[in-house]
Structure 1
Amino acid sequence: TMLRMQHARALLTHSDLPIALVGERIGYNDASAFSRRFNVYFGQPPKAFAKQ
């Protein structure tokens, strides 16, 4: 799962993909589940991370 989250972080950093699509690309069909898991790993939701 950590590799998937690292890939998601890279996608959020280097692309303009919507968060739901990033989640789908790493295997999450549910954007909410992806956001919760991302928050657990990185301490912030993907939306906040993408704004940085």
Structure 2
Amino acid sequence: SLDALKARITEVWDALDAETIRKWLRELRPRLQKVIDEDGKPMQQYFNKV
């Protein structure tokens, strides 16, 4: 159910350690800039390393 899915997402998010979240946030800006630089073209190959 949708409520079960929301609960599970919250549970998993809460279990993430702070360093993992910091790493994702450090990687976000360069990834977003690459999307902008490529005018939104498909770029999955750049993001598969995560």
| Higher RCO (CA-CA < 8 Å; seq separation 6+) | 1
TM-score, normalisation: structure 1: 0.36
TM-score by length of 2: 0.37
